[in-house]
Structure 1
Amino acid sequence: MAVKSKTGPGEYLRNSLWHTGDIADQVRLLWKDKRNVGWKDKVSYRWFLQHRPQVGYIRARFYEGPNLVADTGVKIDNSMRGGRLGVFCFSQENIIWSNLKYRCNDTIPGDYQEYIAQNPK
């Protein structure tokens, strides 16, 4: 989800985050898992997010142990040219976020060119 709220923190943004979809001047849904399954209790998940603002590339992969459980595929979104990265949970209790790291990297992932070739504008 891309958050670009014109109102900032408050009830309207909170309700927009809860809603699954786009809300004008608040949030835009970039991807939703078609399987529509939730997280399992007491299971550790890893996720790997790649974002290259210079070309709009976004891709997230989610793992349970060594197994890939969800993959957004390549998404192109040029609205996010920088800003903050954060994690957020609405309804699951007792979450432990651990070993969170980020780094800046200008290398364009190899699947970007393949995606562009298959999806011309």
Structure 2
Amino acid sequence: MIGVSNIMLIIVKERAKEIGIRKALGATPFSLIALILQESIFLTSISGYIGLVASVGVLEGVGFLMGKFGIQNEFFSRPEIDVQLALAALCILVVAGAAAGCIPARTAANINPIEALRSE
């Protein structure tokens, strides 16, 4: 959550001019908050999916290597991922990403358009 929040704060600071133009043209604070929250949810969804796929790959690799070397361990005999647990973890990650995007979204909504356009 801290990483996503920091990334989103940096994005808001880098795009201050764009946000200022949007506000000057009549964008509502809700539309700016929705924009930043959508970006943070998208970022956490993609990274969570990539992490899930990578973890499945690692477990398959470990299972293959254990079978290749003949390692028979009761606890590690067949590593697997429970689909319901993985989807629950992904949902929790998306909710955490949305929560992490709230502070940067409020920052974006409170940007003064004149100051944002004046800054470089």
For normalisation by structure 1, the TM-score amounts to 0.26
Structure (1 or 2) with the greater strand fraction: 1
Q: Which has the larger radius of gyration?
A: 2
